Amino acid sequence: MYFNLTEEQLAVQAAAREFAQKELKPGVIERDSKMQYPTEQVRMMGELGFMGMMVSPEYGGGGMDTMSYVLAMEELSKVDSSCSVIVSVNNSLVCWGIEEFGTEAQKLKYLPKLATGEWIGSFCLSEPEAGSDATSQRTTAEDMGDYYLLNGTKNWITNGGTSKVHLVIAQTNAEAGHRGINAFIVETDWDGVVVGAKEDKLGIRSSDTHTIMYNDVKVPKENRIGDDGFGFKFAMKTLSGGRIGIAAQALGIAGGAYELAVDYSKQREAFGKPISKHQAIAFKLADMATEIEAAKLMVYRSAWLKDQHANYDSASAMAKLFASEVAMRHTVEAVQIHGGYGFVKEYHVERLMRDAKITQIYEGTSEVQRIVISRNVLKGQLYIPILAGEELVGV
């Protein structure tokens, strides 16, 4: 079994780490506190190639593998998860969804701008009454011949205030259930697209999360993704990869809190010695280190499976489930290790703790991940595939 990263992957990891420490860290507390969208930072991430990492170079992207994307997500998330969720939604939901399932015309029209960060994308699935139960779409797209007429409301839309392109999931035939759902590419300057107020959130506060209303929006027929009725499967397949990005975000949040906790525990003295020398703290660090390593293996393996074009539905669900729980548990511990300092904004760990919570909720709650995993187990996928010689083997 090999655990080596390529030169290119190591270079991406180093570049993301340097960017996060140099460009994201200085203003992160202020942006969080003022709910200020990181406009300049997103522009820089576009220039550095972080907005379309996996998009083929022919459509203006970096042509990188999922592993490189995960390494970048991890480093960005150690510092600023508001920025990393913008990267994640744009890369693994919007760009990947269009490149994997879109027509050549859709790819040529949308990917070059999305991959460079000139345009930002949103993934519009959740509704006031359709969160985990994603088949219960109330947003409708009525077939009018040349176009679809889109009506409805989407909730908690990441990049909602800034995105130029929405991938909207809507019901086109209610009687057909999930087979009557379609996905559409919608441009936000079309008539009838209304951006609601920005949400005031617990965490990832400088990312912009909005309610979006579609009022009689005319969507050209050529903007439907895939065959008629493919929309629900499109959402599921896209989210399966998206969950690798959010798992990497959770891993980064846990890692960021852990690095801060280790540093602080070596500096802070109590009862005549650094607190790291007290077993009560040293054992917390040991548990953090152990669980973060376990999460890392799961996240990297799910990225590797995707790069092998193997089935990664369970692997990504497990990685997100575990990494997000590790992030929550160990950011709480990092605050505890910092004591009173951990409770104030200046020391960063309270923000990481607040940011960790969303990784257990978006792109499928922990409960949804357990549904995905248990259904695959009961279908017979007892273990995640591994490489035996040249062959991927399952159970």
SS3 (DSSP) at 99:
helix
Residue type, 372: V
Backbone angles phi, psi at 138, to 5 degrees: -100, -20
Count of positions (residues) in the chain: 395
| Candidate segments 62-70, 321-329, 347-355, 356-364, binder of ligand CAA by CB under 6 A | 356-364
| Candidate segments 53-61, 131-139, 340-348, 379-387, binder of ligand CAA by CB under 6 A | 131-139
* 366 lies in the site for ligand CAA, by CB under 6 A: no
**Whole-angstrom Cα distance, residue 139 to residue 149?**
10
Encoded tokens for 394: 């399952």
* 127 lies in the site for ligand CAA, by CB under 6 A: no
- The percent of the chain in helix, strand and coil, each rounded to the nearest 5, is 55, 15, 30
List the one residue from 28, 70, 125, 168 that touches ligand CAA (CB under 6 A): 125
Minimum distance, C-beta of residue 136 to ligand CAA, in the bound complex (Å): 8
Cβ closest to ligand CAA, residue 12 vs residue 358: 358
Q: Which of residues 291-320 bind ligand CAA (CB under 6 A)?
A: 313
* 132 lies in the site for ligand CAA, by CB under 6 A: yes
Minimum distance, C-beta of residue 237 to ligand CAA, in the bound complex (Å): 5
Q: Which of residues 221-260 bind ligand CAA (CB under 6 A)?
A: 232-233, 236-237, 239-240
List the one residue from 163, 186, 363, 376 that touches ligand CAA (CB under 6 A): 363
Residue type, 377: V
List the one residue from 66, 92, 158, 359 that touches ligand CAA (CB under 6 A): 158
Beta bridge partners of 220: 147
List the one residue from 69, 119, 123, 148 that touches ligand CAA (CB under 6 A): 123
Beta bridge partners of 3: none
| Candidate segments 26-34, 97-105, 276-284, 357-365, binder of ligand CAA by CB under 6 A | 357-365
Encode burial over 267-306: b for 16+ CB neighbours within 10 A, e otherwise. Answer: eeeeeeeebbeeeebeebbeebeebbeebbebbbbbbbbb
Residues 6+ away with beta carbon under 8 Å from 56: 63, 99
* 276 lies in the site for ligand CAA, by CB under 6 A: no
Q: Which of residues 23-82 bind ligand CAA (CB under 6 A)?
A: none
* 89 lies in the site for ligand CAA, by CB under 6 A: yes
* Contact predicate 212/196, CB 8 Å: yes
* Contact predicate 249/203, CB 8 Å: no
| Candidate segments 28-36, 124-132, 218-226, 271-279, binder of ligand CAA by CB under 6 A | 124-132
Active site residue 127: no
* Contact predicate 119/79, CB 8 Å: no
Question: Residue 146: how many CB atoms within 10 A of its CB?
Answer: 9
| Dihedral (CA of 252, 258, 259, 260) sign | positive
* 138 lies in the site for ligand CAA, by CB under 6 A: no
Q: Which of residues 165-184 bind ligand CAA (CB under 6 A)?
A: 178
Identify the CA nearest to 362 among candidates 52, 85, 69, 115: 85
Determine which one of 363, 367, 390, 391 is catalytic: 363
* 261 lies in the site for ligand CAA, by CB under 6 A: no
* 212 lies in the site for ligand CAA, by CB under 6 A: no
Minimum distance, C-beta of residue 253 to ligand CAA, in the bound complex (Å): 14
Q: Summarize as ranges the residues that interact with ligand CAA (CB under 6 A).
A: 85, 89, 123, 125-126, 132, 134-135, 158, 178, 232-233, 236-237, 239-240, 313, 362-364, 368, 371-372
Catalytic residues: 363
